[in-house]
Structure 1
């Protein structure tokens, strides 16, 4: 802001000039967005550049017959003018009163100012006189060196091209304009200043006639899915039905398998109870609980699996001794108690009736004994069929008729 105030009483004339130099920078004052204004009665304000005075304006004083709006700048107490296109050095000076207005006692002011700001914010031109600074708008350009730097730091989403026409600044031979690539928006002169545009915000972008397709946003663009929304809903419905049916069948299978195991376990329990009663188990329990028997009340019955577990499957390292009737193993029960477990030898021929031993051969007895063992198996799948039993018995008869049997 430059100003000039006349001599008043003992106070001498005072003045100040404005000077802004942007010549060593890529910036220059915007012609379209700035104006030069001069305020004061009978003011003649000039502005220039490094080449000298290039413009100015003059204002006259208003009188009682002229009605003006203090917010306007139409040549009465205020004047304005444009600036050149490539102004990068600005100087402003305000001279004293001229002509018949020399007797005016108010101060004169001159400044470059943002035109939009002046029109929208200054309701009284005399308000500007109280300001030491006012806003201005500057433009800038980049040369070839700076454009290469921009391309290096943000080359993936922006492009710099030579500007149309000559440089706005006389000291640059070629200037460049950088823009964000298609599908991006933002400030192309900043690192990562160009950001992807989400085109799919527009819901109608992938709608064609009565069909609507899903919009898929990708970096720098978008595409419409080849499957329409209605078709996808139908397909998803089929998938959901299929998955639900599969899960239902899975639970049905698990429930059936669990029911089968429960029924099978109950059958095994009933079969064990049946064999326990048939083989004198009840009588054994009565004898164990009888006070006439010297067996301790704590006597416990073990099955074959318990004995195998206690002896580590009858491991040879657990053998304590061997005799004619069998082998004695060292066993450990689940409660940690150490016991001796005897595994009898095969005493088949000792328990067979003497008359059978006299009438039949050992080979025949062994075959029939093995057949009986198979028939008594707790698992039905491992028991032989009637056809297999018949074949085994026929083999025994054949063995009896063989002349080589001694």
Structure 2
């Protein structure tokens, strides 16, 4: 397979060279290297890489024809530094003035070989009292706001960059998103000036001149800023012979790998010691490190000098000793032999000691970077009951997962990969390995460890332990064999469909777990990401609530958390989205969406519906108001469930989805109502219980409140993770 690929790459590269001899290699000041090109079809690998040189503005400017974006530069990555291939483009900003809210759909990249770079771009909002957000295709919402509710009038502090400008990171593998900006209405403070929101290259934006330029703008106007796209080559155009091969041709001076979460796109780069264009024959050229920086000079000493000699793809440091006076040959031979023996023995011993110390030092470094000191602080301060959480060493988990064999992968997500493993005592576990090293997420990682260590509930996934001495942190959970609730509700597992009784039991178990988190845990805990993909099913199809990475613990006297908006579109509480204040009723709203999924078998967000009717919550409420409840109920539910039970559960879901958080029930009330519906036989007393729990058929068709009202009676500073919460 490797030989076949080399032959194919050679033929393609020769064809590219012969066909591009007449192609333009520059447009203005921008170099256009292959696989990009200007001119005939042979000048570029396919239509995605066609560049048009536009002279309409006077000076020539290159544009990607299919994306209609101006190209600022094209660069190749490096295998040694793990830098991706990138292309800089000129990208428009979004602006609005006064009380006007605006939103735009950005360039669609999902079918292209390009993605928005997470490592080199940031999302920025500018203007007084501006709430800006981006919503990706998978429903994730990211955003920030430029002024808190208690800030001074922006008109007085118009040059204060801390209130007029905010920024946040974006999701990995971002290919399409909507940008929105809306004013934050502050009592007794008029909405003034204009607002803007845009994606921008972080390095360019953080230059002192550009930050000052944007923060001091008295009015925001339509503008273009640099944005970085990472790119590869679609296998359908160039590498279809690869199939499932991730890395090829290890004996040559270039390497191609699949881009993360983009299995049809390959990114190629020159190996260490080489630089240039890996997409043409002979494009990766040797670097003469000795001429550039003489890396061997740091080894010079008073006893000898070190000479740097360049090789093809590498360099060598060779010691050069000063000449010695003539001595007798026998003396030289014996002395040299003894000296060599001592040197070999001492060198071997020193190597073993240094290697051991380096390994220990590296493990300590990883332990500190992965939050080990924070976890130890929790243990010493007794702020979390984490004494039963085991700290595994890396060897144990490598052995348990067969060195993280790809055949042991249970699932992959945006934050990492989950492997199936077997511990030395025979227990089957799930080992979660983070995808990348992100020190900004360490607090979130420790938060999940401490949160799960406090929880002891049969319907919450159990944390067995963690490992902090590896390059990326590892979490060890109990093994949950039957996948997620999302797979069963949406018919992805047809061999075992969910019955009405199973759906009712699962809903009751999840409600009980949330009631425990809100009211029975040592400190109240808000989950903050309840959705069907975060509900696992064990060997007996019992529900297990998982993924506590964004959960927060609060004090008993707190009524809400004030945080940056984070969640999944379709499950996100509208009241939280508007106010940035998360309450226990926000978890209730998300549970109401899950309950609607169990009743209808539909997804929280439908990609086939119109923009106005994509939300399951909206359609569910509308069907109830139009007296068409049974028109959207899943056929299996209608066949197996009693109509009066279905009506009770639907009414409960409707109350959970109320736009006004005060009108939603607590999770304790939800759990009690579901337990009553679960009872196999109903007596007149139970019917009376239904009436006491507000089961009223007429209530099913009352108009849904159109305007949400604030449910907050007290305020809270920006929420800190669980690190400062009280223990049990």
Does the TM-score normalized on the shorter chain lie above 0.5? Answer: no
TM-score by length of 1: 0.41
TM-score by length of 2: 0.25
- Structure with greater Cα Rg: 1
